[in-house]
Structure 1
Amino acid sequence: MYKSELARIIRERRAIKKGYNDKEVTEEKVLEILDDAIWAPNHGMRQPWRFIFVGADQKAAFAKKVASTYPEERQQNREDYLNEPSAILVVIMEEPELPKQWEENYGATSSMIQNFWLLAWEKNLGVVWKTNPHIYDPKVKELLDVGENEKIIGFLHLGYFDEQPEVKERIPVKEKFTLFKA
């Protein structure tokens, strides 16, 4: 059915948003996956990313600190939410002043995240890329020591899982494809 093993992984990959089991996501496993994921295309070899790993031992304290940046009535909800995954990988990107370089960095970092996601999927590690409001909050940037010329691209929620989400069909590419006519 699939043209290649890579095509199969691309088509079978899902966002794992909940239903994580108790298997620990280790720093070593994340580093192993990142070691290949960073081979994403990146203009000028800027390699504009860096990472903060939040493992099982740090997750409760991390969730509490990030949740504390929300209004009091939302803090418990956000703390519970951030404690759902087995681990979190915060992805941070260098933000150049030139719009062209910013877009190139964002494209490269997004490509690296896709690589990470596919490589993790191959190892039965679930991933979902989260861009909740806290990634834009200056208090969260300060909490994570994110520099003035850096941007939090997202929190990758990580965890092993037992049940795979259902397939969500895509619009056929022919409906999104045209030929240039001079």
Structure 2
Amino acid sequence: MSHSSTTTATAGRTAPGGRRSSAPRAMTRSAALVLVVAIAAVLFVLDQVTKHWAEANLETDSARPLLGELLQLRLLYNSGAAWGMGSGITPVVTILQLAIAAGVVVFAIRAVRSPWYAVTLGLILGGALGNIHDRLLRAPGPFRGWVVDFLVLPHWPVFNVADMGVVSGAILLVLLSILGLPTAPAPDEPARETPAGERR
């Protein structure tokens, strides 16, 4: 291969002057975990703050318009999962949520080096922890606690900020999989220059 061919082959990976191009690169394990934890923490705090606000300002027997009929506010204590499913097996629902949170953490540690996947897992983890907090620490007791919901959409179960995080993260996860983006992008290879006139 001639020098000109080598230059063409490495174009797009190395910018003029020997600098790397701006193509996405893999994060370090520590950086990916920091991003996951930071997003999860912000979402968890936001979820708990809005739940406390809902309990202090909303009623269970009446809806308050927020965006007209599109989005309303109404306090609801949910002992089950979505659409009220699993209301009689709350401890099982709680254990399932704990298992999901643990699986997210293990997956993040072992496989995720992509910022997109780190954001996705942060949303799922933060949402899961927000509802797990309610299951473990709210009445009527540990593993049987009722989750605070207060956001109402037409023809949709009442939900909260934690649910928004989980659903958004799940949608992003599906999109990333469809687009074929890897959980750990390959690191850029260092540029190798071939002296003029040398063939490879």
Global fold match (TM > 0.5):
no
Structure with the larger helix share: 2
TM-score when scaled to structure 2?
0.27
Structure with the larger strand share: 1
